[in-house]
Chains A and B, each alone.
Chain A
Amino acid sequence: AQTVTQSQPEMSVQEAETVTLSCTYDTSENNYYLFWYKQPPSRQMILVIRQEAYKQQNATENRFSVNFQKAAKSFSLKISDSQLGDTAMYFCAFVIQGAQKLVFGQGTRLTINP
């Protein structure tokens, strides 16, 4: 079975702090892609960051970075210098290479407080 587990239903931090969201996944495949999506109250699902499983180097996009541990099947998201606009639901997801179906976790509700 292909599953994604996000163990933190809710998190809350102060503006400018650093926050890390956890994600573990399960698949028997070796080639896949991992993602973090952000879904603000507007409902639009926005891609935050993408990681190819064959790459050892962790992906980085401005204030967002990941810690990818393939052997542990762990894929956490770190948000540095958090901003009020980062308040949203965050979903971890993966897709098998050669497939289109994204498998999502249950999400983590992140609140950035002023």
Chain B
Amino acid sequence: DAGVTQSPTHLIKTRGQHVTLRCSPISGHKSVSWYQQVLGQGPQFIFQYYEKEERGRGNFPDRFSARQFPNYSSELNVNALLLGDSALYLCASSLGIYSGGEQYFGPGTRLTVT
């Protein structure tokens, strides 16, 4: 079975632009979480979506938004990009809403803002 997939792999954007990142969970998984990993740091939780509803939100500004589709795939949107948004964005999927931490990560999207 395919693991968590993310697209694109790499992305370069200019300050002020908007970006959309995509994630497809493992087949049968209904929960998707997004994490931001700045270079040299551990991942920081951004959002969790389960059954198309937001179930958790980290300490990120309203420029960050996300949604989940009926097939459980998800998009992360970031508006008005800042240099500090440059990071690896990780998507993780799990079977249920609370999975005892059994989250499976994708390879990430490397976003560079210039």
User: Using a CB–CB distance below 8 Å, which chain A residues touch chain B?
Assistant: 4, 33, 35, 37, 42-47, 50, 52, 91, 93-95, 97-107
Return chain A residues, CB-CB under 8 Å to B33. Answer: 100-102
| Smallest beta-carbon distance A89→chain B, Å | 9
Which A residue sits closest to B41, measured CB to CB?
A106
Does B24 make an interface contact (CB < 8 A)? no
Name, among A50, A95, A100, A106, the residue most crowded by chain B CB atoms within 10 Å (CB to CB): A100
Which B residue sits closest to A42, measured CB to CB?
B107
The residue that A101 contacts in the complex, of B41, B42, B45, with Cβ under 8 A, is B45
Return chain B residues, CB-CB under 8 Å to A45. Answer: 43, 90, 92, 105
The residue that B42 contacts in the complex, of A43, A46, A98, A106, with Cβ under 8 A, is A106
The residue that B103 contacts in the complex, of A42, A102, A103, A106, with Cβ under 8 A, is A102
A50 to B56, CA, bound (A): 22
Q: Quick one: given A4-B42, A91-B42, A95-B101, are A102 and B35 in contact (CB under 8 Å)?
A: yes
User: Using a CB–CB distance below 8 Å, which chain B residues touch chain A?
Assistant: 31, 33, 35, 40-45, 48, 50, 55-56, 58, 88, 90, 92, 94, 97-108, 110
Would you call A50 and B42 a contact (CB within 8 A)?
A: no
| Smallest beta-carbon distance B42→chain A, Å | 3
Would you call A107 and B107 a contact (CB within 8 A)?
A: no
Return chain B residues, CB-CB under 8 Å to A104. Answer: 42-44
A91 to B90, CA, bound (A): 14
12 A-B pairs with C-beta separation under 8 A: A33-B100, A37-B105, A43-B88, A43-B107, A45-B92, A99-B56, A100-B48, A100-B98, A101-B56, A102-B33, A102-B45, A102-B92
